[in-house]
């Protein structure tokens, strides 16, 4: 084999080796073996001294050509491998930035809670304090102190769930009127949102568990005009529009005089539907001036102080607000319902 053939043989051997190299390390090994200082091609050039000048020239040119060719192939193969590796990395680390984040879905507040918080903000801005009371109440706070003695027919309308020890699940938020006055005394402007219970025949507009928001203002010389002012402010803030209301006399032993403030049904616009029991009106705001007996039970002198009170049906209000025609949806725990808020 002459020198030229030896060089050509080495060239094709390295080209074949390079084709098989599938990692950057393997490519580097080929480079060292072929072009390194102690590599095969350098070995050849060491013997060039023994050659006649003419042959040395052609062999040198051939060797350089082969070296350049191999260098170019090495680079190309490296670039090839790097781009394959990059493609693989891009594929494996691919991220859909528009996909929902992993983990639990963000929740939302219950529609009743949303309405409650809105009304709380409104009344706080009007100088009212937000109070809380127990859901398990004594007979005294739920009935007696509100001027509803044991033999009073008003108790029949608020049948509830009794505990063995004589306590009961409160039927309204009104007990907090008495608790609030006992604790803070007059003058007092308070609201008390919360859960209440009744032993009800359940239907689209009656539930055994629902929410009310009690309100009371006790000061000197409070009149029905004050009451109407606050109720109007409340309703226009809640509905963000003018609602049609009517005031009827209403009887509650703890107010005198007592009123029933109705709003025209927003679901059917007064035409009649299951929520308004086909009447076109929804009872929303029973209210009145605080009965002096209640003040006395709360340790407040009715000669010095008087006030107004109202009991807003929070659940019913949320139904009006969002156009919900079945009260049972609120405590159904049905996520298809809840996710809409």
Q: Please report, as ranges, the residues that interact with ligand PHE according to CB under 6 A.
A: 172, 174, 212, 252, 255, 286-288, 309-311
Closest CB 318 distance from ligand PHE, rounded Å:
16
**Cα 226 to Cα 214: distance, rounded to the nearest angstrom:** 16
Shortest spacing between CB 268 and ligand PHE, in angstroms: 23
Comparing CB distances to ligand PHE, the nearer of 160 and 275 is 160
* Cis previous bond, 161, omega within 30: no
Kindly state the smallest distance separating residue 340's Cβ from ligand PHE, in Å: 28
In the complex, minimum distance from the CB of residue 196 to ligand PHE, in angstroms, rounded to a whole number: 7
Q: Which is nearer to ligand PHE, 67 or 172 (CB)?
A: 172
Contact 147, 174 (CB under 8 A): no
Separation of alpha carbons 87 and 74, rounded Å: 20
Q: How far is the CB of 311 from ligand PHE (least distance, A)?
A: 3
Identify whether the C-beta of residue 219 lies closer than 8 Å to the C-beta of residue 211.
no
Give the nearer residue to ligand PHE in terms of CB position, either 268 or 312: 312
Nearest distance, CB of residue 261 and ligand PHE, angstroms: 10
Strands 188-197, 129-130: pairing is parallel
Give the residue closest to ligand PHE by C-beta.
Answer: 311
Indicate the residue among 194 and 288 with the shorter CB distance to ligand PHE. 288
Residue listed under structure tokens 């859909």: 96
Two tokens, residue 26: 């393997």
Q: Which helix (H) or strand (E) holds 244?
A: none
Which residue's CB is nearer to ligand PHE, number 11 or number 160?
A: 160
Q: What are phi and psi of 324, to 5 degrees?
A: -95, 125
Which phi and psi angles does 329 have, rounded to 5°? -65, -30
d(CA 216, CA 224): 13
273 or 294: CB nearest ligand PHE = 294
Q: Considering beta carbons, is residue 39 or 286 the nearer one to ligand PHE?
A: 286
**β 209-219/245-249 pair status:** unpaired
Give min distance, CB of 109 to ligand PHE, in A.
Answer: 24
Name which of 211 and 252 has its Cβ closer to ligand PHE.
Answer: 252
Find the shortest distance in angstroms from Cβ 255 to ligand PHE: 5
Q: Which is nearer to ligand PHE, 95 or 150 (CB)?
A: 150
In sequence order, what DSSP letters do the residues of 74-138 get, joined into one string? HHHHHHHHHHHHHHHHHHHT---TTSPPSSSPP----HHHHHHHHHHHHHHHTTPEE----SEE-
The first and second tokens of residue 35, run together, are 């072009």
Nearest distance from residue 110's CB to ligand PHE, in Å?
A: 21
Q: Cis peptide before 187, with omega less than 30 degrees from 0?
A: yes
DSSP of 119-187, one letter per residue? HHHHHHHTTPEE----SEE-HHHHTGGGT--TT-THHHHT--PBPTTS-EE-SSSTHHHHHHHHHH-SS
């Amino acid at each position: 084999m002459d020198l030229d053939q030896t060089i050509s043989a080495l060239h094709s051997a390295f080209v074949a080796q390079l084709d098989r190299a599938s990692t950057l390390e393997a490519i580097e090994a080929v480079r060292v073996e072929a072009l390194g200082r102690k590599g095969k091609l350098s070995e050849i050039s060491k013997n060039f001294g023994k050659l006649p000048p003419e042959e040395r020239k052609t062999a040198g040119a051939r060797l350089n050509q082969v070296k350049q060719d191999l260098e170019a192939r090495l680079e190309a193969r490296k670039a090839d491998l790097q781009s394959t590796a990059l493609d693989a990395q891009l594929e494996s680390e691919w991220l859909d930035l528009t996909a929902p984040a992993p983990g639990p879905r963000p929740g939302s507040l219950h529609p009743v809670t949303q309405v409650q918080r809105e009304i709380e903000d409104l009344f706080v801005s009007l100088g009212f304090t937000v109070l809380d009371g127990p859901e398990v109440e004594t007979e005294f706070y739920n009935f007696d102190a509100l001027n509803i003695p044991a033999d009073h027919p008003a108790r029949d309308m608020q049948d509830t769930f009794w505990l063995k020890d004589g306590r009961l699940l409160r039927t309204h938020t009104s007990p907090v009127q008495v608790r609030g006055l006992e604790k803070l005394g007059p003058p007092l402007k308070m609201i008390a949102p919360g859960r209440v219970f009744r032993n009800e025949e359940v239907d689209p507009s009656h539930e055994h568990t629902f929410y009310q928001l009690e309100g009371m203002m006790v000061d000197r010389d409070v009149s029905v005009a004050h009451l109407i002012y606050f109720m109007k402010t409340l309703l226009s803030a809640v509905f963000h529009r003018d609602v049609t209301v009517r005031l009827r006399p209403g009887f509650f032993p703890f107010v005198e005089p007592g009123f029933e403030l109705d709003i025209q049904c927003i679901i059917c616009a007064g035409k009649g539907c299951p929520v308004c029991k086909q009447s076109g009106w929804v009872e929303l705001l029973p209210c009145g001036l605080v009965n002096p007996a209640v003040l006395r039970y709360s340790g407040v002198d009715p000669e010095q102080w008087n006030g107004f009170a109202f009991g807003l049906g929070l659940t019913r209000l949320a139904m009006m607000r969002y156009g919900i025609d079945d009260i049972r949806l609120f405590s159904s725990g049905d996520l298809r319902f809840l996710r809409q808020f």
